[in-house]
């Protein structure tokens, strides 16, 4: 059972994409916080301690890879699953995201059925379940 204060952090600079991810999570019963750039993402993650982060990689101010690296350095956030979300579908992009500290890599346009399965896997495993699809 989910605790009342559990929430996801959706980091996406495009409002429409952020809205769709937020709605998917809300329909599944989760609370959602949002960030539109990497600096906001780090600040919100440190202050609010999400149970999972959906991290766009192409962000203003601080890209998603740099934001992920900073989040991974923060006490209490090393085990928070981070799912990279990117329009780039190359082996190099996937490898770079995993090296930065992401646990999963999904491509845009987002297949919401696949994303739901990814999220369920993390939630049922209680944390890290590193893989790439």
pLDDT, averaged in runs of 10, over the chain (133 residues): 70 94 86 97 96 96 97 94 94 96 93 87 64 36
Q: What is the pLDDT of residue 74?
A: 95
Closest among 89, 71, 91 to 81, alpha carbons compared: 71
Domains defined for the chain, CATH in brackets? 7-125 (3.40.50.2300)
Question: Under a CB-based contact definition with an 8 Å cutoff, are residues 61 and 39 in contact?
Answer: yes
Label residues 69-94 b or e (16+ Cβ within 10 Å = b).
Answer: bbbeeeeebeebbbbbbbeeeeeebb
Q: Model pTM? A: 0.89
């Amino acid at each position: 059972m989910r605790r009342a204060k559990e929430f996801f952090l959706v980091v996406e600079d495009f409002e429409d994409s952020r809205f769709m991810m937020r709605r998917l999570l809300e329909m599944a019963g989760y609370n959602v916080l949002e960030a539109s750039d990497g600096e906001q993402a780090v600040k919100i993650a440190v202050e609010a301690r999400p149970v999972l982060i959906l991290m766009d990689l192409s962000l203003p101010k601080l890209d998603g890879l740099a934001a992920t690296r900073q989040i991974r350095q923060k006490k209490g956030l090393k085990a928070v699953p981070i799912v990279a979300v990117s329009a780039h579908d190359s082996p190099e992009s996937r490898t770079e995201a995993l090296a930065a500290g992401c646990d999963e890599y999904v491509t845009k346009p987002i297949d919401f059925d696949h994303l739901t399965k990814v999220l369920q896997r993390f939630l049922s495993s209680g944390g890290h379940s590193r893989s790439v699809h």
